[in-house]
Structure 1
Amino acid sequence: METIVLAVVGPHGAGKTSFIESVTECEPENLPETPAPIEFRDGWLDRQFAALNAPKVSLYRCNLTPDETPFILVDTPGLSARKDNLPNYKTIDFIKGRLDSASVELHGVIYLQRSMETTDAEFAVRNIEAFHEAFASDEFRHLLVATTFWDVSPKVGSMDHVDYFHKELRRLDASTGLRLKIARLNNDFESSIRLLQKIHRVSTSHAFGRREAGIEASADENGIWELILSRGKCSVM
């Protein structure tokens, strides 16, 4: 059974890590950082490992039942909101760089947010569009947008905000060809599982990099990340 790889993205405090940890049971295994250039005050560039406090991109394998589609969820740094609601390109580029370095190909995005206010909807749509542009491929087809902590957060006061949000998401769905799902996520295990079950497999591509028909990928092509994940562990990049 093929594996679906989904990036869990959204603003700071949206519950990304809490959602992932609710459906996984593994301790992250720290892996070497990808070397990155660091510029010093004198203008010289030196190639060193990224700073220890740099944001992490973590991969988690979901512990679902054997007859259900296996998932790998990618925990990502929070997207920082801007006054102009433009996408957080810096963070998106950082995520793409880490995944590309490990030959991980995304099949879609789970976008989590705590509010359906108009400004949040605009920020969500623009960031999803930016993710689609950055990771565009035949395999990038899944989009699930969920409002988190629905059971403990104040309910939406105006349906105008909800209608606007859904209208923008449907416009995005039509323009990108993504398979859009909209959900409300409570802060519990059952709600997290139901959210994942909304996503169905639509491709037979290998989860880690592209594989041509009749050609087996080597261990080097798949990368050490897949080996670690296949053993039921988690990895941090």
Structure 2
Amino acid sequence: MTGAEIVILLIGPHGSGKTSFIKCVTGSTTDVAPTTRCRDYRANVDGNAFRLIDTPGLDDLPAGNLSILKDIVQTLEVLGSSKGPIDVNGAIFFHRITDGRFGGSARSNLDVFKQICGTKFAHQVVFVTSMWNKPSPLGQENYQRLSDELRQKYFSIGTGPGTAFPFGNKAEDAKKVLKYFGDRNKREMRELLLAQEVKRSGTSLSGVRRTSAGREIMQASNRGFCTLF
């Protein structure tokens, strides 16, 4: 697939490897800033042009989490056109291999991510486990268990195998992920649920609060799992 840019949304906790991933695919060591606001970067892999939208990890307060969700919405708007937000072709969820299972707040992370994407977008989602360059006694067994667990909690709703990748802070690892998106047919693209919903609710903070992801943030805080991304 060549021609139009392939737009990928990167989501994950603080320190989960998003910035390292971008550095690996862009080859830059100086132009990638710590993520405190959404930023977009360009990369080329196997003849395909990518635009990567990096997002900050959400904090432990619902008000701050909603502000970051609003930042994501407004970034999609700014990068879009008069016709609406920029079309997102895929989303990557980052998780540290050293974090173990998806429980507590980590499960809440995934629930918000699901509400950003929606079920129809599921086949455009990729899961990346990071920190494979760090020594870990858990190793491949833990990676496989995490991959299987994530598929049960999310990918079972429609996507197939081959959508989980290890990332060891190497360019070849990151490029494999983007090549996966590049090899897919863009005609399969569906719109992010979040982008659909803000067309109706608006991009204000109150409008973002009314989206599925916004409601999930508030519900998670009520359940006591406030630390999301």
TM over 0.5: same fold?
yes
2:58 to 79, 91, 113: 79
Q: CA deviation at 1:207?
A: 11
Distance (whole Å) between structure 2 residues aligned to residue 97 and residue 25 of structure 1: 27
Identity %: 23
Change (3 A) 1:122 1:204: farther
TM-score by length of 2: 0.60
Task: Indicate yes or no: 2:23 matched with 1:12.
Answer: no
Q: Aligned pair count?
A: 177
1:65 to 41, 46, 56: 46
Larger radius of gyration: 1
SS in 1 for 2:132: coil
Distance (whole Å) between structure 2 residues aligned to residue 183 and residue 104 of structure 1: 26
Structure 1: gaps (5+ residues): 30-53, 83-87, 210-237
1:3·1:71 contact (CA, 8 Å) conserved in 2?
Answer: yes
1:147·1:183 contact (CA, 8 Å) conserved in 2?
Answer: yes
2:113 to 131, 149, 152: 131
Distance (whole Å) between structure 1 residues aligned to residue 145 and residue 191 of structure 2: 37
SS in 1 for 2:40: strand
Distance (whole Å) between structure 2 residues aligned to residue 107 and residue 97 of structure 1: 17
Task: Indicate yes or no: 2:9 matched with 1:3.
Answer: no
What are the superposed Cα offsets for residues 69-121 of structure 1, whole Å, 9 maximum, x if unpaired? 33211111123468xxxxx5553343123213432222221112223545545
Q: CA deviation at 1:195?
A: 2.4
Distance (whole Å) between structure 2 residues aligned to residue 136 and residue 93 of structure 1: 17
SS in 1 for 2:174: helix
Task: Indicate yes or no: 2:76 matched with 1:99.
Answer: yes
Query: Which residue pairs with 1:220 in the alignment?
Result: none
Counting only pairs closer than 5 Å after superposition, residues 1-237 of structure 1 correspond to structure 2 as 1=2, 2-25=4-27, 55-66=36-47, 69-80=48-59, 90-102=67-79, 103-115=85-97, 117-118=99-100, 120=102, 123-136=105-118, 141-156=123-138, 159=141, 163=145, 166-175=148-157, 177-178=158-159, 181-199=163-181, 200-204=183-187
Q: CA deviation at 1:23?
A: 1.0
Distance (whole Å) between structure 1 residues aligned to residue 143 and residue 167 of structure 2: 18
SS in 2 for 1:198: helix
Change (3 A) 1:207 1:71: farther
RMSD over aligned Cα atoms: 3.8
Structure 2: gaps (5+ residues): 80-84, 193-229
| Greater percentage in strand | 1
Change (3 A) 1:121 1:162: farther
Change (3 A) 1:161 1:14: closer
| Greater percentage in helix | 2
1:22·1:192 contact (CA, 8 Å) conserved in 2?
Answer: yes
TM-score by length of 1: 0.58
SS in 2 for 1:197: helix
SS in 2 for 1:192: helix
Q: CA deviation at 1:189?
A: 1.3
